[in-house]
Amino acid sequence: AFAFAREGADVVLADVEADALADTVREVRDRVAGATVVEGRRVDVSDAAAVEALAADLRAEHGVPDIVVHNAGVGVAGSALDTGLDDWRRVVDVNLWGVVHGSRVFGRQLRERGEGGHLVAVASMAAYLPSPVLPAYSTTKAAVLAFGESLRAELAADGIGVSVVCPGIVATGIAGSTSFAGAGGAELDNRRVRAQRLFDARRFPPERVAEDVLRAVERDLPLVPSTPEARLGLVLARLTPGLVRAALRRRRR
């Protein structure tokens, strides 16, 4: 939000958490000189009808958005066999369906307008690196990458770009909402705290990822690995996939 506002874009933010949304809108207005049309809309991206209503309202009030960034995401950790169905549904609904819902409705608007535009999906290096620790999360991010690449091919003739940005470990608060298979109560809190310490210790700020999002739009890049480990992981996944699978394989004890 800050990055696009500083570039002179009119910014509309959407989030499921009303208080966090209001805080971000206020911060953008206060910290970015000349920021315009900075407003927030509460929406659950897993709800197709809610996303369609958001798109219709924005079109009526401001016109079709030139750039749409799908950045909503939740984490689920734990083995594939131990992850409950509710957690599977939650991570798929937000991480995958959220991108599909927004891309379908805003992509149609951009195509009908006929002036180009750009769709961005923030995935993860987990999209191309198998993980025995984050199988549900990795599944959704791999699906987002495949969807983005397919959608890019579909919309190319319309002058609409599609980019997938894949960060590694970034100092955000995602660990605070991550579910851990088999953990609840105090144990869940402890795991979240330990995970958050890892993210914070990495000290890779979200501002750096925002720069990569802007670069993806400006250069119409299909795939942008963000963070050094994400770039290295992409090279290894493409050149030595067998070694990557061997290194990540978990052995039963």
Q: What is the CATH number of the domain that holds 204?
A: 3.40.50.720
User: Is 137 one of the annotated active-site residues of the chain?
Assistant: yes
pLDDT of residue 131: 83
Indicate whether 213 belongs to any domain. Answer: yes
What are the strands, taking DSSP E only, across the chain?
Answer: 10-15, 36-42, 67-70, 76-77, 117-122, 160-167, 179-180, 223-226
Number of domains the chain is built from: 1
CA distance 171 to 32: 22
pLDDT tier for residue 253 given thresholds of 50, 70 and 90? very low
Indicate whether 88 belongs to any domain. Answer: yes
Which pTM does this prediction carry? 0.89
> Sign of dihedral through CA atoms 119, 45, 16, 93?
negative
197 against 73, higher pLDDT: 73
Given the residues 137, 147, 180, 204, the one annotated as active site: 137
Indicate whether 124 belongs to any domain. Answer: yes
pLDDT of residue 252: 47
Residue type, 146: A
Mean pLDDT taken over the chain = 90
Average the pLDDT over 85-110 and give the result. 96
Structural domain boundaries enclosing 174: 65-248
CA distance 232 to 92: 26
Indicate whether 210 belongs to any domain. Answer: yes
Q: Could you tell me how far CA 102 lies from the centroid of its own chain?
A: 12
